[in-house]
Amino acid sequence: MSVMTSRGGIPHVVRETFDASGRKVRLPFFIHYLTVRNLGASAAKLYFTEADFTADKNYVTVQIPSPTYPYGEWSGPVETAMSDHSDLWVKGATTLELVAFQRRG
């Protein structure tokens, strides 16, 4: 067992365009921290389980850049693991940049 004390880890950057119907974002490894930046013209919803994506509940909104959200960014500790928490899902007609930090140990 390891303890993460910072955002350290190997970063993996994904820049993709999504449509309103949404889809899964498959990452090449399990992560422990995530930063999502909205590069598009509309807000996006970020889900952490497929069940929540299907039900359209329990999500965080990644806003477009504005005076309230100057960078159009959401970040936080997000730990993916083998199970229904191994991938991420996105809905929203926009372009996102995801920086995922690999979980080690």
- Fold type of domain 11-102: Jelly Rolls (2.60.120)
Q: Residue ranges of the domains in the chain?
A: 11-102
- Among candidate residues 81, 91, 77, the one with its CA nearest the CA of residue 42: 91
Residue 5, pLDDT > 60, answer no
Q: Does the pLDDT at position 99 exceed 90?
A: yes
Backbone angles phi, psi at 89, to 5 degrees: -130, 145
pLDDT value of residue 96: 97
pLDDT over 70 (residue 87): yes
79 and 1 in contact (C-beta within 8 Å)? Answer: no
* C-alpha count within 13 angstroms, C-beta hemisphere, residue 95: 5
With H, G, I as helix, E, B as strand and everything else as coil, classify residue 62. Answer: strand
pLDDT of 69-79, one tens digit each? 889 999 999 98
User: Is residue 1 over pLDDT 50?
Assistant: no
The pLDDT tens digits for 17-65 are: 999 999 999 988 999 999 999 999 999 999 999 999 999 999 999 999 9
Burial class of residue 94, CB neighbours in 10 A (0-12, 13-18, 19+): buried
Q: How confident is the model at residue 101 (pLDDT cuts 50, 70, 90)?
A: very high
Q: What distances in angstroms separate CA 90 from CA 40, 50, 73, one per listed residue?
A: 13, 10, 14
pLDDT of residue 61: 96
Query: Model pTM?
Result: 0.86
Residue type, 7: R
